[in-house]
Structure 1
């Protein structure tokens, strides 16, 4: 049924059209069901290769902390290597000299321990300096700075607007 402005509807036609439009608007629509989750129930092979599984990257440790940990491990490994080399050299010297005195492990730790402490302090200072460099910002402002403190508000109807410095 088309509505022609030249021929307006009669009362009964208008009531029928209104009832049709209201009935169409309030007709219950079919509810479409969508799956919200999926579980793969297929069996994983008991031996051999298994299918790849997505493993999202959810790191808990910050990047800088992981870097400090790696640096600390490197310092520890380096000091241990230097200490072993020094111990072997001292053992060789004591065997060459054929003296009764030999280097004990505690004596070795007493000599090499401070070097490990100094290396850890150097690592900590390096981390602090790198974080301080990264945290600093350089702002270069050019031009004049205008500070406006006048505020005008306009409220008409349901809308309101505030303008600064008009």
Structure 2
């Protein structure tokens, strides 16, 4: 019984180490996807936090980001404990981008998708986009519906930019 507990602790430590980190992850084009945790905070369109602003929301999740080939970028978003029976908007944002550039669906380097959350609060979706010329990284912005009495819904963003 004690041996099983030690093994479980090692798995937890390895999983936590894999989720942590700051800066830019390394992933080669056409190879592996980079797993990036989602943070419950608002970021600028270049996916950099200038001020620490928490938002509403109690969901957790992660995104696998990568460039499956030289011409495209893909984000596989997974969330748990999100608002049950709802729809979240997902934007895949490629960087670098000008601070003056917006990151609305259809803007250069921005692809959008929809993630349906089931009755238990779980959902996943994949968003794929043509690779923007000069793009070196990517991340996601996930926005949920506003709850009663709130101006905006839950907002989750990539913890860091994944290299593509």
Shorter-chain TM band: under 0.3
Q: Which has the higher contact order (CA 8 A, sep 6+)?
A: 2
Q: TM-score, normalised by structure 1?
A: 0.20
Structure (1 or 2) with the greater helix fraction: 1
Q: Which has the larger radius of gyration?
A: 1
